[in-house]
Amino acid sequence: MRIKHRGLPSVLGLAALLLFLLLVIFIAGSIFYNLKNRNRQPEAINSRPSSVQAYHEKFQALEFAGEKMRLGLKADQFSVDTNGRQRLEGNVEITDEEPAGGVRIMTSGLVLDPEKKLARTEGGARLVSGNLWLEAQEFEYDLKDKVARAKQARLERMDLSLSAGRLVYQAGNGRLELKEGISGEIKRKQAPLSFSSTGLIMESDGLSFQGTDLKLAFGLINLAAGRARFRLKEVGSALDSVSLEGGARARCRLRAEESRFQEVNLSSEQMFLQSGRDGAVIRTPGAFAVESSGQEWILTGQGEGLELYMENGQLARRLKASRFRSSLKEVAGEEFQLAGQKADYDLALGRLRLGGQAEARHRHFNLDSASLEFSLNDRSFLAPGFNLEIRPEFFESPAMFFKAGASIYLSGEQLTGRPGFFDLNGRVRIWQTGEFCRAEKAGLDGKTGRVILEKLTESSWLVERADGRQERLDLRAEQARLQPGENRADLGGKVEFKLGNLGLSSDELELVFSEENPGRLSRLEARGRVNFSWKGYRAFGTRAEVDLVNETLTLVGTPKLVTASGERLEADKLTLFLADDRIRLENQKRERSLTILVRGQ
C-alpha cells in the first residue's frame, strides 16, 4: 500500500529558509563584532606581571626573512601589535650570542621590528658585552649588523668611565664611537687621567683611542689638539702614549719650591707624549713655541725638535731643543735674548745651556760664543770662545782709558758674567777705536767703572797731557787696576810704561788722573827697581815721581844716571826737566853739592 505525504516539500523548504536566515545573521554579527574591536590591542599572553614568561625557546631560532639568529628573550609581558612588531615589557632582557663576548640588553620596555631587524628600548637601558658596560636613556640594536646606537650614554669598563650624547657600538668588532659632549676619566692612584672630546673612537682592545678636539689631563700634564690618538696602560699610570696633530698644545706643571716657573706651555702642529717608568717625555718633530711664567721671570721661545722630560708625578724637569731662540724677561724689567743651535734647559734648577754658536743679547751687551750657560737664579752666565760687545750703558761710571759713548769689544777663551760684571779668561783682547790691550785675564765692573787686568802683555791708549796734547801711552804689567772712582790706575809686577819719548819700568806704578778732567794724565809714581829712559839717557833708582803738569821727573833712592855718552853719575836725588832738556843731580852727603847738566853742553 502506498502512502503519500503531500506536505513534505513545504516543510523542507521552510527549514532551508530558516538555515539561510541564521547564516546571514551570523555573518552580519561577525562583521559587526570585528568592526567594533578593530582598534583594540590584543591581550597579552600572560597578563600577570608577577610571572616571568621565557621566550628563548620560541625565539632561539627566530627567523627574519629566512635568516637565523641566536637570540634569547625574556620579559614579564609579550604582545604583537597590528604592524607585526613584538613588544616586551617588565623585566626585559635580550641576549645575542653571535658577537664575540655576546650582547645582553636589559630594560623595562623593548620593541622588536622583524621587518627592519631592529630592537629598540623604551626608557633607560643597560648593555653588557664582554667587560664593557653601557647605560643609556635609549638603545637601538641592529640584529643583523650587530650595531648598538644609544643616546645620553655612559660607559664603564674596568676603571674607565665615559659619557657622551650619542654612542655607536659595533659588537662585531668591539669598536665604539662616541659623539657630542664626550667626557671620560680613569681613576687610578698613580697618575689618573681625564679627557673631553667632540668625537671619540675606542678600539676593540679598550685601550686605544682616537678623537677630535681632544683635551686630556694626565697627572700634572694637560694636552689638547684638533686630532689625537692615545693609548692607555692596563696597570700603573693610566696613559701610555699620545699623538697630537692640528694645533697641539701642552701645559706642564713645575715644582714650585725649586723652579723659577710654575708651568710650561707648549704649542706645535704635531706633538707626541710617551709615558715611561720614571716619567713622561713630550716630543715635537717640527717647529714649536714655548711660554712659561713665574713670580720673577717670563719665558717665551721657539725652536725645533723639542724634548720635554717629566719626572715622577709628571712634573716638567728638563727641556731640550734645536735652533732655539728665547726671551727671558724679569718682572722687574731686565730682558735677555738667548739663542743656540742646541738647547738644554734644566727647569727645576733654572739653568739653560746653549750650544753650537750661542748668542745672548741684553741692553748692556751683545755676546756670541761657542756655547753658553745661563742661570736664572743669580743671572750669571758662562761662555767659552766668546766675542763680546759692551755697550756704553754698561758703565754707570766712565771706565778709564775708554771713550765714553762708544762700544768696547772683547774676546777670549772663557767669559763668566753676572749683572753689571764680566770676568774674562784666556788670551783676552780688548779694543775700541784707537785703543786696545791684551791680557790673560780681565774683570770689568759696570757700576764703578773699574777694570782689572792680569798679565797685561800689551796695551796702547790715547791719553791727554797737561797742555792738552794727546799722546800714545803703552803699558805692560803683571796686574793693572784701573780705578776711575779714585782717578788712578795701579800697576804691579814687571811694569813697563812708555809715553812719547819717556820710558819707565818698575815693580809698581801708580798713574794719577786729573779730578777736573778724568781723561788727563797728571802724575806718575813708580816704586821698586825703577828704571827710566829719555832721549838717550837712562836712570835707575828705587822711587820716581813724574809731574806731567810741571814736566818734571824726580828719582830718589840712590839714583844713578847714565848719559848718552856712557858716563855714570850718582846722587841722592835726580830731577829731569822734560820741557827744557835739563837734568839736575843733588848730593846732600857731599857738602850739599849741586851739579846741573844741560843736555847738549
Helices (H), 173-267: none
User: How many whole angstroms separate alpha carbon 458 and alpha carbon 191?
Assistant: 64
Strand duo 381-390 + 365-375: pairing: antiparallel
What tens digit of pLDDT does each residue of 39-73 get?
444 333 333 333 344 444 344 334 443 345 678 88
Could you give the angle at the alpha carbon of 11 between the alpha carbons of 7 and 13, nearest 5°? 120
Residue 252's nearest CA partner among 319, 304, 300, 160 is: 319
Provide the pLDDT for residue 498.
94
Spatial separation of the C-alpha atoms in residues 198 and 210, rounded to whole Å: 11
Three-class SS of residue 118?
strand
Examine residue 322 and state whether it is found in any structural domain, yes or no: yes
Residues 227 and 338 in one domain: yes
Structural contact between residues 402 and 376, judged by C-beta atoms closer than 8 angstroms: no
Q: How high is the pLDDT of residue 156?
A: 86
The pLDDT of residue 297 is 87
Same domain, 100 and 248: no
Query: Quick one: CA dihedral 91, 92, 98, 102, positive or negative?
Result: negative
pLDDT at 515: 84
Confirm whether 528 is domain-assigned.
no
Q: How many structural domains does the chain have?
A: 2
* Cα distance between residue 32 and residue 38, in whole Å: 10
* Cα gap 559→540, rounded to integer Å: 5
On whether both 302 and 196 belong to a single domain, the answer is: yes
Structural domain contains residue 100? yes
- Which pLDDT value is given to residue 398? 86
Q: Is 220 in the same domain as 292?
A: yes
Q: How far is CA 314 from CA 218, 250, 285, in A?
A: 8, 12, 21
* 126 domain-assigned: yes
For 158-209, the pLDDT digits (tens) are 788 999 999 999 998 989 999 999 999 988 776 678 999 999 999 988 889 9
Give yes or no: residues 196 and 259 share one domain: yes
Q: Which of 138, 110, 134 is nearest to 124 (CA)?
A: 138
In this structure, the answer to whether residues 214 and 307 fall within a common structural domain is: yes
Please report, for residues 344, 355, 357, 362, the alpha-carbon distance to residue 328 in angstroms, rounded to integers and kept in the order given. Answer: 15, 17, 19, 10
Same domain, 263 and 342: yes
Number of neighbouring beta carbons within 10 Å of residue 305: 17
Mark the ranges of the chain whose per-residue pLDDT is less than 50: 1-6, 37-67, 601
Tell me which residue range forms the domain holding 304. Answer: 188-348
Residue 517 lies inside a defined structural domain of this protein = no
Last residue of a domain, one of 281, 314, 348: 348
Q: Are residues 309 and 228 in the same domain?
A: yes
Question: How would you write 517-570 as a 3-class SS string?
Answer: CCCEEEEEEEEEEEEEEECCEEEEEEEEEEECCCCEEEEECCCEEECCCCCEEE
Q: Specify the amino acid at residue 179.
A: K
Q: Say if residue 343 is in the same domain as residue 213.
A: yes
Per the domain annotation, does 104 fall within a domain?
A: yes
Q: Which amino acid is at 303?
A: G
Backbone CA torsion sign across 518, 520, 522, 526: positive
Identify the residue whose cell numbers are 805692560: 476
Degrees (nearest 5) of the Cα angle 381, 385, 386? 60
Is 542 buried (19+), middle (13-18) or exposed (0-12) by CB count in 10 A?
middle
CA–CA dist 59, 70 (Å, integer): 8
Q: Note the pLDDT of residue 4.
A: 46
Residues 130, 207 within the same domain: no
Q: What is the model's pLDDT at position 119?
A: 92
Residue 491 lies in a domain: no
pLDDT at res. 375: 92
Gap between the Cα atoms of 374 and 354, Å rounded: 8
Q: Which CATH number does the domain housing residue 262 bear?
A: 2.60.450.10
Per-residue pLDDT at 277:
76
Look at residue 537 and tell me if it is in a domain.
Answer: no
Count of positions (residues) in the chain: 601
Which residue, 102, 123, 151, sits at the end of a domain?
A: 151
Cα separation, 228 vs 242, in Å, equals: 7
Query: Does residue 223 contact residue 195 with C-beta atoms inside 8 Å?
Result: no
Q: Which of 576, 569, 473, 567 is nearest to 533 (CA)?
A: 576
Supply the pLDDT for residue 464: 84
Three cell numbers, residue 20: 539561510
Residues 138, 240 within the same domain: no
Q: Would you state the pLDDT for residue 39?
A: 44
Instruction: Calculate the CA dihedral of residues 59, 62, 68, 69 and round it to 10 degrees.
Output: -50
Buried b (16+ CB within 10 A) or exposed e, 406-425: ebbbbbbebbbbeeebbbbb
Contacts (Cβ under 8 Å, ≥6 apart) of 433: 403, 406
Q: Are residues 297 and 222 in the same domain?
A: yes
Whether 343 and 308 have beta carbons less than 8 Å apart is answered as: no
DSSP string, 426-437: EEEEEEETTEEE
Question: Are residues 73 and 93 in contact, defined by beta-carbon separation less than 8 angstroms?
Answer: yes
Question: Could you tell me the end-to-end alpha-carbon distance of the chain, in angstroms, rounded to an integer?
Answer: 216
Rg of the chain (C-alpha set): 51
Distance between CA atoms of residues 249 and 401, nearest Å: 54
User: Which of 303, 331, 348 is where one domain is finished?
Assistant: 348
Contact by Cβ (8 Å): 115, 125: no
Angle subtended at Cα 361 by Cα 360 and Cα 366, rounded to the nearest 5 degrees? 90
Phi-psi region of 177 (alpha: psi -120 to 50; beta: other; left: phi over 0): beta
Tell me phi and psi for residue 34, to 5 degrees: -65, -40
